[in-house]
Amino acid sequence: MRAIHTKSLTREFGNITAVKSLDLKVPEGEIYGFLGPNGAGKSTTINMLLGFTPPSSGTGTVLGHDIEDESLAVRQSIGVLPEDFGMYERLTARKHVQFAVDTKGANDDPDVLLERVGLADAADRKAGGFSTGMKQRVALAMALVGDPDLLVLDEPSSGLDPNGAREMREIIRSENERGTTVFFSSHIMEQVEAICDRVGIMRDGRLVAEDTIDALKDQFAADSRLKVTVDAVESGVVSALESLEGVSDVSVDGTAISAALTDSRRKAPVINTVEETGAVVTDITSEEPSLEDLFAAFTNDTHSPADSAPREQAVVTEEESSA
Ligand SMILES: Nc1ncnc2c1ncn2[C@@H]1O[C@H](COP(=O)(O)OP(=O)(O)OP(=O)(O)O)[C@@H](O)[C@H]1O
């Protein structure tokens, strides 16, 4: 069974289409990162999955329950960490979790859940004095009530410092190892790369890419940079390189010549052109696009992965070139 399955899920607000014909398939046991810039439609999708916002058209199931006809069953069988969770400043961490236990009609021991999120020592402390990371862990303990098979986390790392984000990742990973499917929305790519099996990237209400991060990197070959180090830079090399198709932004720093390439097939012509100037190539390195570049490529108008050719093997790898 799929934990989440939507077919042509669509939501319009007046003349704005927040989510357009979304087909989402999240298998059980997966950690799925739901990505996209502000306004891409992530929250609207989550609200439809939880039954808070009715779809304009299309269908969906969560853990086998229809999101429209069985939304109560959906909410009872999953754990949700909302983006904006309110804390009662005067209530202790334990009281917060107990409240969630009572609301859900479950019989969990709050102390066990607080232990699972690393807050056992703070069980008796009032939430008013908690850091953002601690508050988020209380909210996560509340989401874990009833031992849900699916956790839906809306921006679980917003407002966390790197340590807090790492702790949150470790908790998410250990919950996944217990068998829980995790669906989390984020615009922090590093967070996603560190723990997700697969990601879906939303843009303007559409799912524009869906795969493992490695596969997405393979799809997107634009703007990798090649650095060619030579014994001495000959004059005219910059203009010679810039006249090549798919090569731009050529710069020289000492004996290193660097160029942006639209795809890795441009590497050989660049190296040949440099050698034709009479220079002796002593080293070649290539820089792959960062995760942020990847995100921008799928969500900006200026880049489009569809325009890029598939990535090929590097002409010379770093190891080879330094051997
Ligand atoms: N209740 C609403 N009424 C009108 N428009 C809405 C409503 N909710 C969302 N929208 C619009 O739908 C689009 C998608 O918004 P949504 O909040 O789902 O995006 P998001 O990806 O979650 O963004 P963020 O990362 O900022 O939370 C936006 O253009 C937003 O303005």
**Binding site membership of 38 for ligand 1 (Cβ less than 6 Å):** yes
CA of 22 to the centre of ligand 1 (A): 15
Statement: residue 40 has pLDDT above 60? yes
Statement: residue 196 has pLDDT above 90? no
- Point out the ligand 1 atom lying closest to the alpha carbon of residue 14: 4
Looking at residue 83, its pLDDT comes to: 75
**Binding site membership of 13 for ligand 1 (Cβ less than 6 Å):** yes
> What are the C-alpha distances in Å from 240 to residues 143, 276, 315?
60, 10, 20
As a three-state string, the secondary structure of the chain is CEEEEEEEEEEEECCEEEEEEEEEEEECCCEEEEECCCCCCHHHHHHHHCCCCCCCEEEEEECCEECCCCHHHHHHHEEEECCCCCCCCCCEHHHHHHHHHHHHCCCCCHHHHHHHCCCHHHCCCEHHHCCHHHHHHHHHHHHCCCCCCEEEEECCCCCCCHHHHHHHHHHHHHHHHCCCEEEEEECCHHHHHHHCCEEEEEECCEEEEEECHHHHHHHCCCCEEEEEEECCCCCCHHHHHHCCCCEEEEEEECCEEEEEECCHHHHHHHHHHHHHCCCCEEEEEEECCCHHHHHHHHHCCCCCHHHCCCCCCCCCCHHHHHC
Looking at residue 158, its pLDDT comes to: 67
* Probe residue for ligand 1, chosen from 42, 44, 45 as the CB with the greatest number of ligand atoms within 8 Å: 44
Which CATH number applies to 223-300: 3.30.70.100, 2.40.110.10, 3.40.50.2300, 3.10.580.10?
Answer: 3.30.70.100
Angstrom distance (rounded) from CA 285 to CA 200: 31
pLDDT digits 0-9 by tens, 206-258: 999 898 887 877 666 556 788 999 999 998 999 999 999 988 889 999 999 99
Looking at residue 220, its pLDDT comes to: 64
Which residue has the least CA distance to atom 11 on ligand 1? Answer: 18
Residues facing residue 281 across a β-bridge: 230
Statement: residue 18 has pLDDT above 90? yes
Mean pLDDT of the chain, nearest integer: 85
Residue 288 carries which side chain, given as an amino acid letter?
A: E
pLDDT digits 0-9 by tens, 133-159: 888 889 999 999 999 999 999 877 666
**Binding site membership of 52 for ligand 1 (Cβ less than 6 Å):** no
**Binding site membership of 203 for ligand 1 (Cβ less than 6 Å):** no
Looking at residue 193, its pLDDT comes to: 76
**ipTM for the whole complex:** 0.96
Looking at residue 310, its pLDDT comes to: 33
Topology of the domain comprising 2-212:
Rossmann fold (3.40.50)
**Binding site membership of 186 for ligand 1 (Cβ less than 6 Å):** no
CA of 204 to the centre of ligand 1 (A): 10
Q: What is the model's pTM?
A: 0.74
Which residue has the least CA distance to atom 3 on ligand 1? Answer: 13
**Residues whose CB is less than 8 angstroms from the CB of residue 276 and which lie 6 or more positions away in sequence, other chains included:** 240
Q: What average pLDDT does this structure show over 176-195? A: 83
CA of 267 to the centre of ligand 1 (A): 42
Angstrom distance (rounded) from CA 283 to CA 229: 5
Looking at residue 320, its pLDDT comes to: 38
Tell me whether the CATH fold assigned to 2-212 matches the one assigned to 223-300.
no
Looking at residue 298, its pLDDT comes to: 78
Statement: residue 123 has pLDDT above 80? yes
Looking at residue 229, its pLDDT comes to: 94
**Binding site membership of 40 for ligand 1 (Cβ less than 6 Å):** yes
Which range of 57-61, 78-82, 207-211, 233-237 scores highest in mean pLDDT? It is: 57-61
**Binding site membership of 299 for ligand 1 (Cβ less than 6 Å):** no
CA of 208 to the centre of ligand 1 (A): 17
**Binding site membership of 41 for ligand 1 (Cβ less than 6 Å):** yes
pLDDT digits 0-9 by tens, 273-323: 999 999 999 999 887 666 667 777 777 764 444 443 333 333 333 333 333
User: Which is it for the CA torsion 228, 230, 236, 240, positive or negative?
Assistant: negative
Looking at residue 170, its pLDDT comes to: 87
Q: How far apart are the first and last CA of the chain?
A: 50
- Model confidence at 267, pLDDT cuts 50, 70, 90, reads confident
* Probe residue for ligand 1, chosen from 19, 42, 157 as the CB with the greatest number of ligand atoms within 8 Å: 42
More confident site: 319 or 160: 160
Angstrom distance (rounded) from CA 286 to CA 272: 16
CA of 53 to the centre of ligand 1 (A): 12
Looking at residue 16, its pLDDT comes to: 95
- Sorted by where each begins, the domain ranges of the chain are 2-212, 223-300
